[in-house]
Structure 1
Amino acid sequence: MTFVQLIDCRTDRFDEMNRLMDKWVEQTKGKRTATHDVIGRDRSDGSHFVEIVEFPSYDEAMRNSHLPETGRIYEEMVALCDGPPVFTDLDVVRDEQLNVLVARAFFTAMGRTPPDRIVDQLTDDYVDHDPSYPRPVQGRDGIRAVLEGWYGAFDFSFRVDDQMAEDDRVCSRWTWTAHHKGEFLGIPATGQDVSMQGMTWQRFRGGRICESHWMYDRAGLMEQLGVLGD
């Protein structure tokens, strides 16, 4: 179970504390078990700070606390604070990256849901980047036309294999499997079962996808369709 530690403190020497944190990061390379660190300043009290440190588990947090470097940095941190920091230990009982859920739903729906419903998950000014396009596709109507082409050529589905999120961006690694049932780029239906792997980087705004960058092996797909050979 993921574990989070909140460190609540007051200091008028945040610049020094910030340098102290950089020092800890450098000294604990290859040793620390912390996976994510966020420090927030209270908007109503500029000397009040809360640090949020994430660990894979409570046991990993304890391993991190027992590092000699952590102990030394803690002593220096206390010296910079107006009083002893207050620690709150939390077991994470729910952790949802909301944009990740939207991205997963987008891929799950592809091939199984009509294009009109797929584009409902996109912003009006959506931009789609694909290395096989001569230029980016703009807007819902543009991407709807692209989807209709794929739907007409293949019965297909996506399997999401891995996802990572940062700020307003999500990257999904996926596997696409399909049955070639109609014309595709001038290639008549072959009845061939095909697959590709790829990744899609997506940016979100207001809970909808506003931009996508696609990377996949189209040459491998063409080879499976018998267009490219040795």
Structure 2
Amino acid sequence: MTFVQLIDCKTRRFDEMNRLMDTWVEQAKGHRTATHSVLGKDRADDSHFIEIVEFPSYEEALRNSSLPETDKIFREMVALCDEMPTFTDLDVVRDERLYKSSVRNLFGLLAGKGELPSWDEVVAENYHDHDPANEQDVIGMDAMRREVEMWRSGFDFVFTIEDQIADVDRICTRWTWNGTHTGDFMGIPATGRQVTMTGMTIHRCRDDGKVAEGWWQYDRLGLMAQLGALDPLGL
């Protein structure tokens, strides 16, 4: 679960504090486990600052705090503050930015294009996929991989993400799929045709950002028509 720490401090020596933060990042390069940080200034009090530091987990934050560079910088930071800084520890229970990133990575994994995280990092082991084209839902990562292999064996394809909308733990993605028919697909031999398809998918993400469930709607009938698999409706 993503972990965030709020560091609340007051200082009239901001320029020195800012340089100290830069020094911390430089000295801890390759060791620091923080993934993102934001520094904000109070509009009503220009001596009041809050730094928001994000970590992949609480355990990673503890590992970061045990670094010798962290202890040294903390003592220097306290010396620059008007009073003792306070720390607030937060477990992130909703992170729409993380969820969108996970879903984008999933679409990348489906196509197998680019440098991407592993399936284990993106998809929950008990992932549940709802596809109206399948008689039964696809449940579990192994079953999902078999489903993906069926598409990859028939097409060389990519997804283009057109839109993404987040609502709590749900991410709705409007996408365009473009492929080349390079192998057998549902009994249709390779045609070499360039084909395209549009659709929308809603994914549900867990607190840790892994994708746990998906509901698909797409123009599979249009795809089959492009492959020449449909009768010309009596024409």
- TM-score category of the 2 structures, normalised to the smaller one: 0.5 to 0.7
CA distance in 1, matches of 2:228, 2:131: 22
Give the letter aligned to residue 165 of structure 1: A
Contact 2:203–2:214 (8 Å) recurs in 1: yes
Secondary structure in structure 1 of the residue aligned to 2:112: coil
Aligned equivalent of 2:230: 228
Give the letter aligned to residue 100 of structure 1: K
Question: 1:84-120: CA deviations, max 9, x gaps?
Answer: xxxxxxxxxxx96221111122223432349993464
Alignment: residue pair count: 136
Secondary structure in structure 2 of the residue aligned to 1:152: helix
- Structure 1 length as normaliser, TM-score? 0.55
CA distance in 1, matches of 2:117, 2:228: 31
Aligned equivalent of 2:171: 170
Aligned equivalent of 2:108: 108
Give the letter aligned to residue 102 of structure 2: V
- Structure 2 length as normaliser, TM-score? 0.54
CA distance in 2, matches of 1:179, 1:143: 22
Secondary structure in structure 1 of the residue aligned to 2:143: helix
Superposed, which structure 2 residues align to 1:100-139 within 5 Å?
A: 100-113=100-113, 117-118=118-119, 120-139=121-140
CA distance in 2, matches of 1:186, 1:120: 33
Structure 1 runs (4+) deviating above 4 angstroms are 113-116
For structure 1, the residue ranges without an aligned partner over 5 or more in a row are 1-94
Summarize the Cα distance change of 1:166–1:127 in structure 2 as closer, same or farther, 3 Å threshold. same
Question: 1:169-197: CA deviations, max 9, x gaps?
Answer: 10000000000000000000011110000
Question: 1:117-166: CA deviations, max 9, x gaps?
Answer: 34641111110000011011110010010011111110000000000001
Superposed, which structure 2 residues align to 1:1-230 within 5 Å?
A: 97-113=97-113, 117-118=118-119, 120-205=121-206, 206-230=208-232
Secondary structure in structure 2 of the residue aligned to 1:150: helix
Question: 1:14-64: CA deviations, max 9, x gaps?
Answer: xxxxxxxxxxxxxxxxxxxxxxxxxxxxxxxxxxxxxxxxxxxxxxxxxxx
For structure 2, the residue ranges without an aligned partner over 5 or more in a row are 1-94
Aligned equivalent of 1:29: none
CA distance in 2, matches of 1:196, 1:220: 7
CA distance in 2, matches of 1:119, 1:190: 34
CA distance in 1, matches of 2:103, 2:197: 19
CA distance in 1, matches of 2:222, 2:117: 29
Identity level (%): 43
